[in-house]
Amino acid sequence: MSNQSEYAYHIEGGQPIVGEIKCLGAKNFVTKAMVAALLGDTPTVLTNVPPIGDVDITIEMLTSIGVNVQRTASNTLTIDPSTMNLSRVPTPHSGSNRIPILLLGALLHRFEKVSVPVVGGCKIGTRSVDYHLGAIEQFGGRVEDTDGGYIASRERPLKGTHIKLPYPSVGATETCLFAGVLAEGRTIISNAAIEPEILELITMLRAMGAIIFTSSGRDIRIEGVKQLNGTSMQVLGDRIEAASWACLACASDGDITVHGIRPDTLGNFLAYFQQVGGGVELAGPNSIRFFRKDALRPTIIETDVYPGFSTDWQQPFAILLTQANGISIIHETVYESRFGYLKALDKLGARTQLTTYCLGGTTCRYREMSHEHSAIILGPTPLMATDQPITIPDLRAGLAYVIAAAITEGTSIVTGIHYLERGYGNIVPRLAAMNLKIERVNVS
């Protein structure tokens, strides 16, 4: 993956953003689907694959262990795991996202010993892999934590088990699915994550021949099978991206129609969006028009696991709340250090305050702790560009900064865009196709 840290966005804001945009395939699904493809004995074809950095990194990881990956210009990936011949992931960039830990459970079916690099990703709080490692051990594997990463081994095939997750972690649920589908016997995952991307992954694994039952609660039952085959799967639209374009439309007093998104995957976002004054109109089976319907009102948001308000929605929504008339509150219950991006917003003219108190009623893991995980936002505040660049601290805050720059009077410089481009593709041409004046420039 090329080094993009010397590039920046120049954004001239202050005008309503109007137009149409197509949602790319979901980052939170596509890389997991690429790992799932390793469980099959025959090739898997993925379509609607987004042109993002995390896909490039995952391709490097897979090819480094012998997997044959073919990519076409039509955003299609063909993944053939039959050529896989290495159990050690050596790719230099593989420690920069969260995929390596998922490879442990998938590769242990094929190899008796697997090693992956240190797990990376955005610095948004503690993202422990204990749930993953504990799950692998329950399936009968052994895990060693080394300076260079994690080594998992087994003496016999993995065996089904009953895993009770302490928290409905998306990643840990995925590890359990990968380990359970080819394990001997029955696996029960209690308190599993049920995000749309998890249910889509289950659909893909079923298409490969896995036997997976879901319940009305958070239990998933897997009857292990001896073999899986490849399949063909279209990557669903990115619900995090779609919500971000909705916030851009409403915050700028614009009008954006988003294509390529299933409305059902947005869940409670639509309710909160309408509550603050946003307008929603279904423009087709997979298209939604977003606009500002009423004067913007303040609200209280508490992030939570699905079907709650996604933690990845709160950053663009915070930009929208800076334009609402009154005091709004965001209570973050998923990650404890997710509000670092607000400092840059305050420099643009936003008025925010962080507190360690739980400003909400949702059960929170960080109650009575010292983490600043609640934010108070006072609006409306006009945002004004400064001479200093806005530096992106993590992937999801990155698109929020682009939205902030789009509604800011003057020209803003957004740096650290390599974080953003890990998860969002073709940002400049897609936004320029509407009426945002944005360019990607070399600042080295």
What are the catalytic residues?
Answer: 122
290 and 241 Cβ atoms separated by less than 8 Å: no
Q: What is the DSSP string of 107-155?
A: HTTT-SEEEEE------SS----HHHHHHHHHTT-EEEEETTEEEEE-S
Quote the CA–CA distance of 373 and 364 in Å, as a whole number: 10
Cβ count within 10 A of residue 55: 25
CA distance to 208, 228, 264, 422, per residue, from 70 (Å): 20, 21, 32, 20
Contact 259, 21 (CB under 8 A): yes
Work out the angle between the directed axes of helices 170-180 and 130-138 (0-180°, nearest 10). Answer: 20
What is the C-alpha to C-alpha distance for residues 214 and 302, in angstroms, rounded to an integer?
Answer: 26
Task: Kindly state the tokens that stand for 41.
Answer: 């004995």
**Nearby residues of 197 by Cβ (< 8 Å), 6 or more positions away:** 26, 28, 29, 32, 170, 236
Q: Which helix (H) or strand (E) holds 243?
A: helix 239-251
What b/e string do you get for 30-42 counting C-beta neighbours within 10 Å, with b at 16 or more? bbbbbbbbbbbee
Nearest CA among 195, 264, 237 for reference residue 425: 237
* CA dist., res. 135 & res. 193, Å (int): 14
Evaluated on CA atoms 417, 418, 422, 427, the torsion sign reads positive
229 is written with which tokens? 């085959």
Contact in structure between 259 and 20 (CB atoms under 8 Å):
yes
